Amino acid sequence: GQQLNQSPQSMFIQEGEDVSMNCTSSSIFNTWLWYKQDPGEGPVLLIALYKAGELTSNGRLTAQFGITRKDSFLNISASIPSDVGIYFCAGPYSLFLTQGGSEKLVFGKGTKLTVNP
Partner 1 sequence: EAGVAQSPRYKIIEKRQSVAFWCNPISGHATLYWYQQILGQGPKLLIQFQNNGVVDDSQLPKDRFSAERLKGVDSTLKIQPAKLEDSAVYLCASSSLTGARTGELFFGEGSRLTVL
Query: Which residues of this chain interact with partner 1, rule CB under 8 A?
Result: 1, 4, 31, 33, 40-45, 48, 50, 88, 90-92, 95, 98-99, 102-110
- The smaller minimum CB distance to partner 1, of residues 37 and 77, is found at 37
Q: How far is the CB of 9 from partner 1 (least distance, A)?
A: 9
Size of the chain, expressed as the number of residues it contains? 117
Amino acid identity for residue 9 in this structure:
Q
Distance separating alpha carbons of residues 28 and 32, to the nearest angstrom: 10
Cα separation values, 63 from 77, 103, 115, Å? 11, 22, 20
Q: How far is the CB of 34 from partner 1 (least distance, A)?
A: 10
- The smaller minimum CB distance to partner 1, of residues 31 and 77, is found at 31
DSSP state of 99: H
- The smaller minimum CB distance to partner 1, of residues 42 and 117, is found at 42
